């Protein structure tokens, strides 16, 4: 256990009530509540508007993915896994294919690797844009979400052109991709990221440059780096605490080591830093996409994969930098064509586990700012 | 013929009916302002907004919304205090509508030209809060209770700067009658000369008074789910929240337009041929547009931050404003 920062453990001083006995009220936030975007439930005990205790209750969307994948072969599981974090399907599919490829020693063509990077980064941008917009919405600013969706649409169109889907892509296969990208994709993707980069200053002005937004987020929900590490927090939330942990750099997979990009780091890990890191990461993703589109090699989109895909007996842990953090699959094979067991480590699950510490001592409106900047997808928590 | 007309108009019952008619116009006015808000918001957000209802640019959207509310089931939870719960829409709407009794549409077009018109307008505009507080209590819902308490706490924060800013105007005009205040601004509105600071303070406080972003904490949907009105449905919701909010917004805008922009008084002498009500409506519409613009641009403050803003910024500023107004008055500079 790390130490909880001083200002978060501060329980309200009840002597200010002049000796009057006041009761705590248990407020049941969710599972149906506009700010939990999904079915997260938070049981908060409030003293007036001050939160004394908060306990996230999860499991309302448990679909048993870990058990379900045991009934499907290695090509089918990718379709299932894209439904965990429904905002970043491609990113969910990649590490599963990586696990299979590594166990079989499959060679993935360079074109497929580049395309995977492009699709993953485009998907990361659509994911981040969603949270950029909805964070403003939770703080009462209704306009940024519309702007975010405007930019998101073009990139969604690019993803739709390639995969035919807008949420559950099912496009990454062991050994490569389902198909090659169609004509026009490169131009559309380039147009999408260029429009995004051109519009990001608007978001920065509208939200981060706004005095009210700063008042609501700076110093609100500070996350101590040690506490974050103890809870297995990863992704933009961890980087907002100043820890440069990005699997794309720490344990490069695909061809990420061939691209130039930075890891934006926050200073004090408050809501503002988390949001800032999120917006900066979109710029970095756009940089990666541009580089990958420029250097896109010719060739096949899928390597030589046996028709009947059986893995040798053994186990492997494969992880990747999901938009929300570290997504890991621990795959155990008994030599068959289905996983014997697959433990899924989702980023949102670990990230939300620290929320109870962060909510203590905050105001009810701060709870919204904190939960909104924890960037979670309920399907990713419960899976 | 003319004498007959005068005779009919002088008849107190006809006059009363005409004056009541003004108040009855408020409901259609909320539909218009609601539609304008939908459209302005949509265009600020790169959207078209309603385009289908009524065929031409969705002009009938708010009307259709109102009809939808009529058809909805009126739900009351078992633990609700039914009497108080049902009374709330009357209180919130009445409080908002009563302001119009003293607001002049033209030199003589005022329902009651009270000598203490300004005092009356500020007093009745606070009645709505009682309704919100009652709604919060009667709903038997924790979110509603928090919303009601927030509304009451907010009253303490904005009411003082609102009154102090209006007091400076009264000093400037030398009268509490809204007609005299408007007349004092013949061709030079107070917002431009003498009271620009007061105008900004009044605008900020008025935004808080009508619970609009950035001061919409009592109805914050992402936090406490429309606050005191969580449990309301059907027409009670439409009247208690929507109609009351829009009438209050029109009322505060009309008041601000009268106090700081001169109400029905023309802006330039050469435009004297344009009738007073037109000027009044234009100026009110300008303030309403400002409020809409602010609402769709800013995030929401926190309740304690509003208190700080009110007590540490707005109230000292409005006191300074009163002091400067008085000093300039004494020196016969304004």
* Residue A112: pLDDT over 80: yes
Within 10 A of B274 (CB to CB), how many other CB atoms are there?
12
Contacts of B293 in chain A (CB under 8 A): none
**CA–CA separation, B315 and B23 (whole Å):** 33
C-alpha closest to that of A55 among A358, A347, A351: A358
CB contact under 8 A, B299 and A216: yes
**Model confidence at B164: pLDDT above 60:** yes
Answer whether A212 sits within 8 Å of B299, measured CB to CB: yes
Q: Are B301 and B158 in contact (CB under 8 A)?
A: no
Of A35, A49, A146, the CB nearest to B45: A146
State yes or no: pLDDT of A169 exceeds 70: yes
Percent of chain B with pLDDT over 90: 7
Closest residue by Cα to residue A293 from A127, A91, A111? A111
Q: Over the stretch B5-27, which tens digit does the pLDDT of each residue have?
A: 666 666 677 777 777 777 778 88
Q: Name the residue among A219, A246, A161 with its Cα closest to residue A370.
A: A219
Q: Residue B271 in contact with residue B255, Cβ under 8 Å?
A: no
The two three-digit tokens of residue A59, written as one number: 């499991």
What's the pLDDT score for residue A119? 92
- Identify all chain B residues contacting A35, using CB atoms and an 8 Å cutoff: 222-223
Beta-carbon contacts below 8 Å between A and B: 79
Q: What is the model's pLDDT at position B7?
A: 65
Residues A150-165: tens digit of each pLDDT:
889 999 999 999 988 8
**Inter-chain contact B46–A146, Cβ cutoff 8 Å?**
yes
A119, HSE (Cβ side, Cα atoms, 13 Å):
35
Output the pLDDT for position B320.
92
Chain A residue with the nearest C-alpha to that of B306: A212
User: Residue A141 and residue B304: Cβ atoms within 8 Å?
Assistant: no
Q: Do A137 and B222 touch (CB under 8 A)?
A: yes
Q: Which residues does chain A have within 8 Å of residue B296's beta carbon, measured at their own beta carbons?
A: 142-143
- CATH number corresponding to A65-350: 1.10.645.10
Which residues of A fall within a CB distance of 8 Å from B143? 27
pLDDT digits (tens, 9 = 90+) for A318-350: 999 999 989 999 999 988 888 899 999 999 998
CB-CB under 8 Å, B297 with A141: yes
CA distances A162 to A92, A181, A189, A282, Å, are: 17, 5, 10, 21
Note the pTM of the prediction, 2 decimals. 0.84
Please state, in angstroms and as integers, the Cα–Cα distance from residue A310 to each residue in A94, A199, A313, A337, B281, following that order: 18, 47, 9, 4, 77
Residue A39 in contact with residue A378, Cβ under 8 Å? yes
Which of B38 and B96 is assigned the larger pLDDT? B38
Contacts of A299 by beta carbon, 8 Å cutoff, 6+ apart: A109, A110, A111, A112
Inter-residue contact B37 to B292 (CB < 8 Å):
yes
Q: How far is B315 from chain A (nearest CA, A)?
A: 19
Each domain of chain B, given as residue ranges in start order, spans 25-71, 73-330
Residue from A280, A51, A143 nearest B294 by CA: A143
CB–CB contact B299 A213 (8 Å): yes
Of B146, B217, B298, the CB nearest to A141: B298
Residues B301, A215: C-beta atoms closer than 8 Å: yes
Q: Which residues in A lie closer than 8 A to residue B301 (C-beta atoms)? A: 212, 215-216
Distance (Å, whole) CA A89 – CA A178: 14
pLDDT at residue A1 in the model? 39
State whether ipTM is beyond 0.90: no
3-state DSSP assignment of residue A326: strand
| Order of all β-strands in the sheet with A50-57 | A25-29, A41-47, A50-57
- Scanning every residue of chain A, which has its alpha carbon at the shortest distance from the alpha carbon of B215? A140
pLDDT digits (tens, 9 = 90+) for A2-34: 444 454 445 555 555 566 667 778 888 878 777
Each residue's pLDDT tens digit, A215-257:
888 888 888 888 899 988 998 999 999 889 889 888 888 888 8
Identify the sign of the CA torsion B121, B124, B128, B129: positive
Domain residue ranges of chain A, discontinuous segments joined by +: 65-350
pLDDT digits (tens, 9 = 90+) for B204-222: 888 888 888 788 877 777 7
Least confident range of A29-43, A54-68, B175-189, B268-282 = A29-43
Percent of chain A with pLDDT over 70: 94
CA-CA-CA-CA torsion sign (B178, B183, B189, B190): negative
Place of tokens 């981060």: A208
Q: Which of A326, A350, A330, A348 is nearest to A340 (CA)?
A: A330
Confidence of residue A211 (pLDDT cuts 50, 70, 90): confident
Q: In A, what residues contact B, Cβ < 8 A? A: 25, 27-28, 33-35, 49, 136-143, 146-147, 150, 206-207, 210, 212-213, 215-216, 363-368
């Amino acid at each position: 256990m790390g130490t909880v920062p001083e200002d978060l453990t501060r329980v309200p001083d009840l002597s200010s009530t002049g000796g009057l006995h006041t009761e705590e009220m248990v407020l049941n936030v969710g599972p149906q509540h506009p700010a939990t975007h999904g079915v997260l439930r938070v049981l908060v005990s409030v003293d007036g508007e001050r939160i004394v205790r908060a306990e996230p209750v999860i499991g309302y969307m448990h679909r048993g993915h870990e058990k379900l994948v045991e009934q499907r072969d290695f090509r089918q599981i990718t379709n299932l896994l894209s439904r965990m974090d429904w905002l970043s399907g491609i990113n969910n599919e990649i590490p599963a294919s990586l696990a299979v490829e590594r166990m079989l020693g499959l060679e993935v063509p360079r074109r497929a690797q580049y395309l995977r990077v492009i699709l993953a980064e485009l998907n990361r941008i659509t994911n981040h844009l969603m949270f950029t917009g909805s964070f403003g919405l939770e703080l009462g600013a209704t306009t940024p979400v519309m702007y975010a969706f405007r930019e998101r649409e073009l990139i969604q169109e690019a993803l739709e052109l390639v995969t035919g889907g807008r949420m559950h892509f099912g496009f990454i296969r062991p050994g490569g991709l389902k198909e090659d990208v169609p004509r026009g994709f490169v131009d559309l993707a380039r147009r999408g990221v260029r429009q995004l980069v051109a519009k990001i200053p608007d978001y920065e002005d509208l939200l981060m440059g706004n005095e009210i937004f700063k008042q609501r987020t700076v110093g609100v929900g500070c996350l101590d780096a040690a506490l974050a590490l103890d809870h297995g927090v990863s992704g933009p939330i961890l980087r907002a605490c100043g820890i440069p942990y990005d699997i794309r750099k720490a344990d490069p997979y695909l061809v990420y080591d061939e691209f130039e990009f930075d890891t934006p780091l926050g200073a004090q890990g408050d809501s503002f830093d988390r949001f800032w890191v999120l917006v900066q990461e979109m710029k970095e993703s756009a940089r990666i996409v541009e580089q990958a589109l420029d250097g896109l090699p010719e060739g096949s989109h899928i390597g030589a994969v046996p028709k009947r895909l059986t893995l040798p007996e053994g186990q492997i842990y494969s992880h990747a930098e999901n938009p929300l953090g570290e997504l890991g699959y621990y795959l155990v094979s008994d030599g068959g064509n289905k996983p014997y067991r697959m433990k899924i480590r989702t980023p949102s699950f670990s990230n939300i586990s620290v929320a109870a510490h962060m909510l203590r001592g905050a105001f009810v409106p701060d709870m919204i700012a904190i939960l909104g900047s924890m960037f979670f997808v309920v399907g990713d928590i419960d899976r | 013929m003319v004498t007959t007309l005068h005779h009919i108009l002088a008849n107190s019952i006809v006059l009363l009916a005409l004056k009541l008619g003004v108040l009855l116009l408020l409901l259609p006015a909320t539909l218009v302002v609601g539609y304008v808000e939908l459209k302005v918001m949509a265009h600020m957000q790169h959207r078209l907004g309603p385009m289908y209802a009524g065929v031409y640019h969705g002009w009938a959207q708010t009307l259709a919304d109102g009809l939808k509310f009529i058809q909805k089931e009126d739900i009351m939870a078992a633990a609700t205090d039914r009497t108080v719960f049902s009374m709330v829409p009357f209180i919130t709407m009445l409080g908002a509508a009563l302001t119009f009794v003293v607001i002049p549409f033209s030199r003589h077009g005022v329902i009651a030209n009270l000598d203490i018109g300004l005092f009356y307008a500020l007093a009745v505009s606070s009645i709505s809060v009682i309704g919100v507080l009652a709604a919060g209590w009667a709903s038997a819902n924790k979110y509603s209770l928090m919303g009601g308490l927030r509304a009451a706490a907010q009253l303490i924060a904005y009411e003082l700067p609102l009154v102090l800013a209006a007091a400076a105007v009264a000093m400037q005009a030398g009268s509490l009658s809204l007609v005299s205040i408007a007349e004092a601004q013949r061709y030079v509105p107070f917002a431009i000369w003498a009271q620009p600071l007061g105008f900004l303070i009044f605008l900020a406080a008025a935004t808080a008074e009508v619970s609009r972003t950035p001061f919409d904490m009592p109805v914050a949907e992402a936090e406490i789910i429309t606050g005191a009105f969580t449990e309301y449905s059907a027409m009670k919701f439409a009247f208690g929240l929507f109609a009351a909010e829009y009438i209050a917004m029109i009322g505060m805008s009309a008041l601000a337009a009268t106090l700081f922009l001169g109400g029905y008084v023309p802006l330039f002498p050469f435009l004297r041929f344009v009738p007073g009500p037109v000027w009044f409506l234009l100026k009110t519409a300008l303030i309403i547009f400002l409020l809409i613009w602010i609402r769709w641009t800013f995030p929401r403050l926190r309740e304690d931050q509003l208190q700080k803003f009110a007590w540490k910024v707005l109230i000292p500023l409005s006191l300074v404003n009163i002091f400067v107004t008085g000093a300039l008055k004494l020196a016969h500079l304004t």
